[in-house]
Structure 1
Amino acid sequence: MPVLDACRPRPAFFQLGDEFGDAVKPAAFPQHITRFRNNRAAMTVGLEGLTDAEWTDAFGRFTPLPGQPGPVAMRYHGHQFRSYNPDLGDGRGFLAAQMLETGTGRLLDLATKGSGRTPGPGAPTGGLTLKGGVREVLAPLMLEALGVPTSRPFSLIETGEALERQDEPSPTRSAVLVRLGHSHVRFGTFQRAAYLERRDQIETLIEHVRAHYHPHVAEGDAAGLLAAVVEASARLTARWIAAGFVHGVLNTDNLNVTGESFDYGPWRFLPHYEPGFTAAYFDQTGLYAFARQPEAVFWNLTQLGGALRMVGDAEPLTDALNGFGPAYIRHLRAAFLMRLGVKSLGEAADQRLVDTTLALLREGGEALRWEPLFFDWFAGFASSERALRGPRRALYQGEAFDAFRFALFEHEPDRPERLEHPVFRADEPEEMLIDEVEAIWAAIAERDDWTPFSDKLARIEAWRGALGFSA
């Protein structure tokens, strides 16, 4: 590996020792074809200078980066669809490196998926399908553009194996994914320590998380740490809802302490407003349906609170959990204002805008897709002429629309100059609906044609630049 002057290694989790993770070796792959390299993300951690060969060595063969001790499979438990499972942990991935973000100094992780068998259960082969890897690139890039706190896809390398899968046509092509995230300490990381009745591990985790992710929390303050995680989780959930996103598998091992979504499996974006819309075919009861995501996140937070009960008093922990509802509503108002490109006018007016937006989407049914409404009316009255001569002009009439328009026009546009971006001269917004995702994959699977994938990435990047949201 070369000397990387701009890269600042900080392997903090590795220093916790082997009670929290297992040193592992990556798989030896027969092939390495880089299909996606996130140079913008690489710049934030000083890795943009890697040559193509060095990139493959770091993220295909997993030769440790300078200052990194080598990969470790993280240990955790978790509730899966509300059934406790002590047989979890990294099973086909690992924490590859930790480093400080340029400028902010935040601690960031480079973690993998599909990098070979590790001690957790994982996939039988330890592999990741190339289709799964493509989907794990598309979802977070779209969410990032929409202002959702998310891990970022860092690298996708096709690995030349033929994987057998029960849930999709096999054999299928394989890949290894690397993602850049703020933390991979999960709620289930704490649950494992509580399950083992290891008060010392709980205390170690509290100090690790407090020091590196929530430094405003006092040392040893379990309730204060829980309150910080509650706040971050409420913000994440509200942003999912405003983006029309369904995570699909909101188990306690898929939520982390920094309120940043990661590990994208059966995700979906709403085609139109449908509270019961689910992303996973196996979610037959709708436990993790679109409108039930706040409930699911809160339930998971209560499990984290239960683990912290080993070292904290019940009353302040309960008070911290009770903060979720108010925080979620507050962040939901802010998220809808952000999506509609308008400024706050106060709690009552902001809530009225959320309520009338949802009412209009509900009345519009399948005819009024989720994303186009926010696109048509971005920046409020500054988009009025554009929306009323656009392809959905016939839908913008009636009592529900009048109430929405009144509530929207109360609010002053926020940075209306964003409407000058070329994306707003199109009739349709950028979306990420399942039919297009499947078409992108079909071009790869049938013709090895990566053009639709590359074109989609370019359009998402344009969308991100136009909206100018901050996650």
Structure 2
Amino acid sequence: MPVSSAYRPEPRFFQLGAEYGDAVKPADFPQTILRLRNDRAAATVGLETLNDAEWIAHFGRFEPLPGQPGPVAMRYHGHQFRVYNPEIGDGRGFLAAQMREVPQADKDSKRPQAASLREGSDRDTKQSRLLDLGTKGSGQTPWSRHADGRLTLKGGMREALAAAMLESLGVPTCRILSLVETGEDLERHDEPSPTRSAVMVRLSHSHIRFGTFQRAAYYGRKDQIEALMEHARALYHPAVAPGDAAGFLAAVVEASAALTAKWIAAGFVHGVLNTDNLNVTGESFDYGPWRFLPHYEPGFTAAYFDQDGLYAFARQPEAVFWNLTQLAGCLKLIAEPEPLAAALNAFGPAYIRHLRAAFLNRLGVQSLGEAADQRLLDATLALAREKKEALRWEPIFFDWFGGFSSAARALGGVRGKTYQGEAFDAFRFALMEHEPDRPERLEHPMFAAPEPEEMLIDEVEALWSAIDAGDDWAPLKAKLARLETAKSAWSL
């Protein structure tokens, strides 16, 4: 059969009803040329057995997968650069399907006894997450507002790169499952036009946004907020007691703090942190004008239209917290304000705690306690700040991964002469306090290379140029393969 025996459809959002989404039809594209298929991601939901024709049928023409009711454009509102917009929603995408992640026992073993595990209680294990297939560029919906509902091929390529880079660095992220070129010429004001078109499918933990709650609150629908909260609580934060809105907010705050800290440690700038671009699971998605830091620069922005730096690199924690306050405001319709405020106030301490852990993880060292961990965090930022003209962000973590065990490698490498001065001395002393975490990871061949895998804008443009000028996809696919190798090196 086209899907594997591990495929487990569970279209839960669709069961909420028509007030939360609109049934839609995908666009009828003139072409469907398969450009990227992520079989590793597909295997996590039992879809890797689709052949290319079946893949295009489901992810280019969007014939419903088995057990799925058909696409729904989700309804939501949102603050866009802190201006409330009640006229948005899924304007060029939809929720195509939901299914359970393949249980770990199934993923780790191909032995015959794995089948018996699937038949037992492990089939419903708590570790088996509900995952969404969401689209971008799949056509117009009731929320398109005169837009064409399409996605540029370059935009789809950029999303695939952002997700792959973040995944390689251990940041909670959607994964780009599929990219299909669709044969239309699109006019865009922010890139040379006409330009090629595509439809993309992402695999994500949830597409329930803060803005999904905002729409219900906008219309004063206490019943919808209660239904949404209970739906999201049961599926994504089951440790929270039924009906506990403050507990649900606390779980979202914790997950959002962890995500934001990992963005910072990765040197990632999302670019558009509107309330419709943050979800209740704390998983990063919807990558538009993203960038990675070339070097330490707190005011670095990703979007050319972010002229005031609202979503600059160092302002991302502030942006996420502001968005969480909007979610809390929605929940005030069903909960008392005091426990909601307490949940919100936990963001700052949680963010700092997760930031220390994220920097330790990036440096591959063990925790030594709050004070020592904070010294290392401060010293790393001070080094990045002092050496920003000579030292890019990513090489700091590559050169010194594993702590002082990498001293000979770092000091003897291409940046060896950069590592001197007062800021470096403080960094070195702070690093020496910490023991390596799984030092065997340094044996991975990646650490014998002079440079880390990065994702700076010049490389992104070069990868696109190869596609645009010569329809050469080999450099992009090679980059994605190297990022998969990097992921294995960091997390071995």
**TM norm structure 2:** 0.94
- Specify the alignment match of 1:272 in structure 2: 295
Q: Which runs of 4+ in 1 moved over 4 A?
A: none
- Specify the alignment match of 2:52 in structure 1: 52
Within the candidate set 329, 333, 356, 1:310 is matched to 333
- How many Å apart are 1:125 and its aligned residue? 1.4
Q: Counterparts of 1:78-227 in structure 2 under 5 Å?
A: 78-103=78-103, 104-121=127-144, 124-227=147-250
- Specify the alignment match of 1:370 in structure 2: 393
1:107 is matched by which residue type in structure 2?
A: L
SS of 1:69 mapped into structure 2: coil
- Cα distance in structure 1, aligned partners of 2:3 and 2:476: 33
8 Å CA contact retained: 1:246, 1:268:
yes
- Cα distance in structure 2, aligned partners of 1:92 and 1:466: 36
1:339 is matched by which residue type in structure 2?
A: R
2:186 is matched by which residue type in structure 1?
A: L
- Specify the alignment match of 1:229 in structure 2: 252
8 Å CA contact retained: 2:2, 2:51:
no
SS of 2:159 mapped into structure 1: helix
SS of 1:257 mapped into structure 2: coil
2:5 is matched by which residue type in structure 1?
A: D
SS of 1:438 mapped into structure 2: helix
- Specify the alignment match of 1:43 in structure 2: 43
RMSD over aligned Cα atoms? 0.9
In structure 2, relative to structure 1, the CA distance for the partners of 1:133 and 1:421 (3 Å cut) is: same
8 Å CA contact retained: 1:188, 1:252:
yes
8 Å CA contact retained: 2:180, 2:198:
yes
- Specify the alignment match of 1:359 in structure 2: 382
SS of 1:63 mapped into structure 2: coil
Does 2:65 correspond to 1:65? Answer: yes
- Cα distance in structure 1, aligned partners of 2:153 and 2:480: 16
8 Å CA contact retained: 1:94, 1:112:
yes
Note the alpha carbon deviations across 1:362-387, whole angstroms, 9 max, x for none.
00022110000100000011101000
SS of 1:88 mapped into structure 2: coil
Does 2:404 correspond to 1:420? Answer: no
1:32 is matched by which residue type in structure 2?
A: T
- Cα distance in structure 1, aligned partners of 2:155 and 2:300: 21
**TM norm structure 1:** 0.99
In structure 2, relative to structure 1, the CA distance for the partners of 1:278 and 1:122 (3 Å cut) is: farther
Note the alpha carbon deviations across 1:334-378, whole angstroms, 9 max, x for none.
000000000000000000000000000000022110000100000
8 Å CA contact retained: 1:90, 1:122:
no
- How many Å apart are 1:122 and its aligned residue? 6.2
8 Å CA contact retained: 2:182, 2:198:
yes
Does 2:454 correspond to 1:431? Answer: yes
Note the alpha carbon deviations across 1:287-319, whole angstroms, 9 max, x for none.
000000000000000000000000110000000
2:453 is matched by which residue type in structure 1?
A: E
- Specify the alignment match of 1:331 in structure 2: 354
8 Å CA contact retained: 2:187, 2:194:
yes
8 Å CA contact retained: 2:136, 2:150:
yes
- Cα distance in structure 2, aligned partners of 1:390 and 1:105: 43
SS of 2:389 mapped into structure 1: helix
8 Å CA contact retained: 1:57, 1:63:
yes
- How many Å apart are 1:2 and its aligned residue? 3.6
- Cα distance in structure 1, aligned partners of 2:253 and 2:405: 36
- Cα distance in structure 2, aligned partners of 1:365 and 1:373: 11
Note the alpha carbon deviations across 1:162-184, whole angstroms, 9 max, x for none.
11111111110000000000000
Does 2:29 correspond to 1:10? Answer: no
- How many Å apart are 1:455 and its aligned residue? 1.3
**Which moved further from structure 2: 315-324 or 113-122?**
113-122
Note the alpha carbon deviations across 1:75-117, whole angstroms, 9 max, x for none.
0000000000000100000000000001132100000000000
Unaligned runs of 5+ in 2: 104-126
SS of 2:57 mapped into structure 1: helix
- How many Å apart are 1:120 and its aligned residue? 1.3
8 Å CA contact retained: 2:3, 2:47:
no
Within the candidate set 248, 257, 263, 2:286 is matched to 263
Aligned length: 469
8 Å CA contact retained: 2:249, 2:340:
yes
SS of 1:303 mapped into structure 2: helix
Does 2:419 correspond to 1:396? Answer: yes
8 Å CA contact retained: 1:91, 1:123:
no
- Cα distance in structure 2, aligned partners of 1:438 and 1:97: 32
Note the alpha carbon deviations across 1:128-177, whole angstroms, 9 max, x for none.
00000000100011000001000000000001111111111111000000
- How many Å apart are 1:189 and its aligned residue? 0.3
SS of 1:212 mapped into structure 2: helix
8 Å CA contact retained: 1:209, 1:257:
yes
- How many Å apart are 1:5 and its aligned residue? 2.0
- Cα distance in structure 1, aligned partners of 2:265 and 2:9: 35
- Specify the alignment match of 1:33 in structure 2: 33
1:420 is matched by which residue type in structure 2?
A: E
- Cα distance in structure 2, aligned partners of 1:422 and 1:4: 34
- Cα distance in structure 2, aligned partners of 1:403 and 1:206: 47
- Cα distance in structure 2, aligned partners of 1:310 and 1:441: 47
8 Å CA contact retained: 1:87, 1:121:
no
- Specify the alignment match of 1:321 in structure 2: 344
- Cα distance in structure 1, aligned partners of 2:361 and 2:325: 29
8 Å CA contact retained: 1:20, 1:75:
yes
2:263 is matched by which residue type in structure 1?
A: W
